[in-house]
Structure 1
Amino acid sequence: MRYYGTIYTAAPPGTGVGITVGQADRMLAHRTAENDCMNRGGAPCRLVSEFTFACAAVAHGVRQSPGTAIMTSDPSTFRLHVVGHGMANTRADAEYDAMSDCNRRDRGLTCGIVRSECSGR
């Protein structure tokens, strides 16, 4: 049997992320990830990847907001510029791929994993 995964994200500056892994029904994988993304404040969300790997990860690349003294975890202190994603058979490899993708997209950003999921299959 084939299992599906999908990643949906909001376009920056939206921060929504939806990930589904290990789903037997391809269309359900899409609906679940898209709804998850929209429920996390990301409407409208778009498909960034469909895959059959066991794990997926998403990294956000941010820059300090103008007029702030320091960048913290408070969203008012930073702006999201890019979204990187990765898929692999292990969480560590998926996260590594997501961070690499984020760092490749724009120099000078602070990239960090915002979500990773693995199937139990």
Structure 2
Amino acid sequence: MIPSVPSAEKLLIGLLREQLPGVQVVTLIPAPEVRRLPLVWVHRTGGAATHPLWLDQAAVSVECWAQQRTAAAELAQSARTALWAAYRTQAERPQGHIASYAEVSGPSEVRTRDQPDQLHRYLATYTLGIRPPRP
């Protein structure tokens, strides 16, 4: 098998699960009956590989859910800090590492008309350079 850049979602799921204990970190929103809060939903929204073997510039959204507004905001800040720290320290994970970090949109509250009063969400978007594990 030819090596390639790792999945940005898999890398971020592992990183955020480690850095945010007790938080459900997912790439697909679970059904309401199995969903538990707090929750972080990570999903790739775009981007392209600069080089398919060595560097992917992944656009990702990180949405944080909690029962209280302040808890959702704090969770979004914790996720932001975890991503920045992984980039800043070039923390190596089995899936690879974050080689570059750009915040496209900082954490901001998301509300919809049908959203329950006990659900609060904060969304942030990033462009992250993802590299495979070092040899």
Tell me whether the two structures share a fold, i.e. TM-score over 0.5: no
User: Which of the pair is proportionally richer in helix?
Assistant: 1
TM-score, normalised relative to structure 1:
0.29
TM-score, normalised relative to structure 2:
0.27
